[in-house]
A and B are shown apart, each in its own frame.
Chain A
Amino acid sequence: MSQRIAGPGTLAEQTPPPRSAGGLSRPAEVLLGIITSKKAMFGILVILMVVICAVFSPWIAPHDPAAQSLAFRLAPMFSTAPDGTFHLLGTDHLGRDVLSRAIYGARVGLIVGLSVALIATFIGVTIGLVAGYFGGWIDAVLMRLCDVQLALPAILLAIAILAITGVSLLNIVLILALTQWVAFARVVRSATLSEREKEYVLAARALGFGSARIIYRYILPNVFAPIIVIATFAVAQAIIIEAALSFLGLGISGATPSWGAMLADGRTYLAIAPSLATIPGLFITLSVVGINLFGDWLRDFLDPKLKM
């Protein structure tokens, strides 16, 4: 019988060993994609800068972000204090170095952004998978829950809950996650709906696999691409809302440098020292644009319709 399958036999000889099959390995493919796209390059550079600022802030920041110098308040950009210290972006109303505070501010932004995205992904993906796979009344209940969540403005909800629970980093993260999971749930649900009708899911059921295994092994890996994309947007969204909350006075306390709080503080001095409010604003804008651009590129990159 072996001579009958000469076709596939020759195919096997031509194909390189499976591990390197397909020419490039996946990481190399991603790297190449990033390098060849301006969008992705810009996005990844901004993200890298924010991450480096956050992780290495004590080494990068020229000054202690909490050190006050009441004698040298509201100094403009590029000014040197009487004691000889140089303030590239000036000082704020308590004489603290703006650049150092902005660098340290990346920490809060990054922690909030990442942990919110992580928690929201977990909640939303779980709900979306369950709703999409089982359908029926389970789907109806979970999706109405989404509708309720969508009907409440994120900021308003966050303010209301923070007013009750009190402000802490943990509370802010949890509340923001609560406002972000719906996007995941809805996208994952619709992807699951189309995925569960695929023949390989039916084949898996015909092999005797249970629902949990089918969801975990067959559906989740196949709806993963949109999840990554939404997660990047959720990071950006969380950074913005966190800044907005700080601006509204519901952010993490003033001692911890945060872009939103800096913006709020600087607003009072907009007439005398406009850079105080605009610099943290620029940091927020730049990082959000960077993350969004990267997410945008990722979406295009992972969209199989654009390939081959």
Chain B
Amino acid sequence: MALMTDDKPDDVALAVSNLHTTIGTGPGAVRGVDGVSFTVRRGEIFGIAGESGSGKSMTAFSILRLLPTRGRISEGSILFKGEELTTLSEAGMRKLRGDRIAMIFQDPMTSLNPVFTVGSQISEAILQHRRMSATQAQAEAIRLMEIVEIPDAASRYSAFPHQFSGGMRQRIMIAMALSCAPDLLIADEPTTALDVTVEKQIIGFLQKLRRETGVAIMLITHNLNLLAENSDRIAIMYAGQIVELAPTSEIFANPRHPYTQALLNSMPRGHISQQRLVPLAGVPPRIVGKRSGCSFAPRCPMAQELCTTVPELRDCGVGHSARCWFVEGSPRHDK
């Protein structure tokens, strides 16, 4: 891809190329992630958007290798700061998780252990990767709670998760994720379960974080409006593949893939008041076995004979590529 060559190697936090993750084996195997390539740079917020089941979470879990029992990475490479993760041992991955790559989850109500105090859980996360005494860890946990703006942090240390609101719990999750100053933070729908005011706080917090620490953030969401203001580049995923990848402003100003266009037409955008919303009928397919043509073709208004052949990602602008036969002004293939 054009963008990758522009990057200085130490500027790239994560480089995923041609990643394939399958669930199950044999002819019934589902292609959860099917040939996904992208890079995330230091200090960048990289958005991944798509409907449920499009493979965006599966991509995240592939990076951390936290796949379901029958899932495995079958092909491709994940370079994290120059280190190949697909061949790393399980023990090596465990050292990495929570230390250099951290993740926060969709539902803060259920992602904390209900039987221990929030403080002890942050301390435990710290002690997992750092050598210090329990007292030091406690002080560090309180410091982290202050960083994520938990009021009265010292006394809230011994509160239980059920005594916290959803937004506060998500901030505790972020505190745990920050405990070891990660290079990459994967946020899987971090605000989906929260109301909009809390969402603004959490996202504002992530923004501040990447400015101050230079952490690379992968922000996974189905909410394109959220990405519009809060990401640098966006990958649109559909049926396990990236169908369009572009800088955020490009995606919104000049969407090239019919799926991206359909997504944008189906959601309200604040600045256009008279816009009619166009629903997108159908659901994304689960890809089992070989692909027969463009996976979006069955729902695509532009589908033609040519679409029964699988399209490749094609460049259609600076750092902009789309997986469609009808991307105008892009005669050359990406690969």
Please determine whether chains A and B interact with each other in the same assembly: yes
Q: Which residues of A contact B (CB under 8 A)?
A: 1-2, 4-5, 7-9, 11-13, 15, 17-19, 21-22, 135-136, 198-200, 202-210, 217-218, 221-222
Q: Shortest CB–CB separation between residue B126 and chain A, in angstroms?
A: 10
A2 and B97 alpha carbons, distance in the complex (Å): 31
Task: Report A-chain residues with C-beta under 8 Å of the C-beta of B150.
Answer: 8
Number of interface residues of B (CB under 8 A): 46
Q: Within the complex, which residue of A21, A202, A222 is in contact with B105, where a contact is CB–CB below 8 Å?
A: A202
Q: Are B110 and A199 in contact (CB under 8 A)?
A: yes
Q: Mark B63-92, 1 if CB is under 8 A from A, else 0.
A: 010100100000000000000000000000
Does residue B279 face the partner (Cβ distance < 8 Å to A)? no
Q: Mark B161-178, 1 if CB is under 8 A from A, else 0.
A: 001010110000100100
Q: Are B149 and A2 in contact (CB under 8 A)?
A: yes
A19 and B204 alpha carbons, distance in the complex (Å): 32
Supplied contacts A135-B69, A203-B112, 12 more A-B pairs, CB within 8 Å: A1-B204, A12-B151, A18-B159, A198-B110, A199-B110, A203-B105, A208-B99, A210-B94, A217-B124, A221-B116, A222-B113, A222-B114
A193 and B107 alpha carbons, distance in the complex (Å): 20
Q: Within the complex, which residue of A135, A206, A217 is in contact with B113, where a contact is CB–CB below 8 Å?
A: A217
Q: Are A199 and B107 in contact (CB under 8 A)?
A: yes
For window 100-155 of B, CB contacts with A under 8 Å fall at 102-103, 105-107, 110-117, 124-125, 128-129, 149-152, 155
Given contacts A18-B117, A207-B125, contact A199 B97 (CB under 8 A): no
Q: Shortest CB–CB separation between residue A271 and chain B, in angstroms?
A: 58
Interface centre among B66, B111, B173, B204 (most CB of A within 10 A): B111
Q: Are B115 and A222 in contact (CB under 8 A)?
A: yes
Q: Are B111 and A208 in contact (CB under 8 A)?
A: no
Task: Report A-chain residues with C-beta under 8 Å of the C-beta of B204.
Answer: 1, 4
Given contacts A208-B98, A217-B124, contact A4 B116 (CB under 8 A): no
Task: Report B-chain residues with C-beta under 8 Å of the C-beta of A1.
Answer: 149, 204, 208
Q: Are A203 and B173 in contact (CB under 8 A)?
A: yes
Least CB separation from A222: chain B residue: B115
Given contacts A22-B163, A206-B66, contact A200 B112 (CB under 8 A): yes
Main secondary structure of the interface of A (DSSP, over half): helix
Does residue B297 face the partner (Cβ distance < 8 Å to A)? no
Q: Within the complex, which residue of A7, A8, A203 is in contact with B111, where a contact is CB–CB below 8 Å?
A: A203
Q: Shortest CB–CB separation between residue B125 and chain A, in angstroms?
A: 5
Task: Report A-chain residues with C-beta under 8 Å of the C-beta of B249.
Answer: none
A8 and B156 alpha carbons, distance in the complex (Å): 12
> 24 A-B pairs, CB-CB below 8 angstroms?
A2-B149, A5-B149, A7-B165, A8-B167, A8-B168, A9-B151, A11-B151, A13-B152, A15-B159, A15-B163, A18-B159, A21-B159, A136-B69, A199-B110, A200-B111, A203-B176, A204-B113, A206-B66, A206-B97, A206-B103, A207-B98, A207-B128, A208-B94, A217-B113
Q: Are A5 and B201 in contact (CB under 8 A)?
A: yes
Task: Report B-chain residues with C-beta under 8 Å of the C-beta of A200.
Answer: 110-114
A33 and B314 alpha carbons, distance in the complex (Å): 68
For window 249-305 of B, CB contacts with A under 8 Å fall at none
Q: Shortest CB–CB separation between residue B158 and chain A, in angstroms?
A: 4
Task: Report A-chain residues with C-beta under 8 Å of the C-beta of B112.
Answer: 200, 203
Least CB separation from B176: chain A residue: A207
Task: Report B-chain residues with C-beta under 8 Å of the C-beta of A18.
Answer: 117, 155-160, 163
Does residue B226 face the partner (Cβ distance < 8 Å to A)? no
Does residue B96 face the partner (Cβ distance < 8 Å to A)? yes
Task: Report B-chain residues with C-beta under 8 Å of the C-beta of A21.
Answer: 159-160, 163
Q: Within the complex, which residue of B96, B107, B155 is in contact with A17, where a contact is CB–CB below 8 Å?
A: B155
Q: Are B155 and A205 in contact (CB under 8 A)?
A: no
Task: Report B-chain residues with C-beta under 8 Å of the C-beta of A17.
Answer: 155
Task: Report B-chain residues with C-beta under 8 Å of the C-beta of A203.
Answer: 103, 105, 111-112, 173, 176
Least CB separation from A2: chain B residue: B149
A199 and B66 alpha carbons, distance in the complex (Å): 12
Does residue B95 face the partner (Cβ distance < 8 Å to A)? yes
A5 and B145 alpha carbons, distance in the complex (Å): 14
Least CB separation from B94: chain A residue: A208
Q: Within the complex, which residue of B97, B116, B155 is in contact with A208, where a contact is CB–CB below 8 Å?
A: B97
A198 and B109 alpha carbons, distance in the complex (Å): 11
Q: Are A209 and B168 in contact (CB under 8 A)?
A: no
Task: Report B-chain residues with C-beta under 8 Å of the C-beta of A210.
Answer: 94
Q: Are B97 and A207 in contact (CB under 8 A)?
A: yes
Q: Are B64 and A4 in contact (CB under 8 A)?
A: no
Q: Which 8 residue pairs of A and B lie closest in terms of their CB atoms, listed nearest first?
A: A207-B98, A208-B98, A208-B97, A221-B115, A206-B103, A203-B111, A199-B111, A18-B159
Task: Report B-chain residues with C-beta under 8 Å of the C-beta of A135.
Answer: 69
A209 and B129 alpha carbons, distance in the complex (Å): 9
Given contacts A1-B204, A18-B117, contact A8 B110 (CB under 8 A): no
